[in-house]
Amino acid sequence: MKELNDILKTNIDLPVSRATVINIFHTTTWMKDDLLVELKPFDLSLEQFNVLRILRGQHGNAINLQDIQERMVSKMSNTTRLVDKLIKKNFVERTICKANRRKVEIIITDIGLNTLKTIDPIIDQTEKNITRNLTQEELIQLNTLLIKLKNK
Digit-coded pLDDT (tens) for 108-147: 999 999 999 999 999 999 999 999 999 999 999 999 999 9
Confidence of residue 35 (pLDDT cuts 50, 70, 90): very high
CA distance 93 to 113: 12
| Ramachandran bin of 59, using left for φ above 0, alpha for ψ from -120 to 50, beta for the remaining angles | left
| Mean of pLDDT over the chain | 90
Q: Would you say residue 69 has pLDDT above 60?
A: yes
Among the listed ranges 5-19, 68-82, 138-152, which one has the minimum average pLDDT value?
Answer: 5-19
Q: What is the mean pLDDT of residues 68-95?
A: 90
Q: Would you say residue 2 has pLDDT above 60?
A: no
Cβ-contact 74, 48 below 8 angstroms: no
Indicate the class that CATH gives domain 2-122.
mainly alpha
Q: 91: how many CB neighbours lie within 10 A of its CB?
A: 25
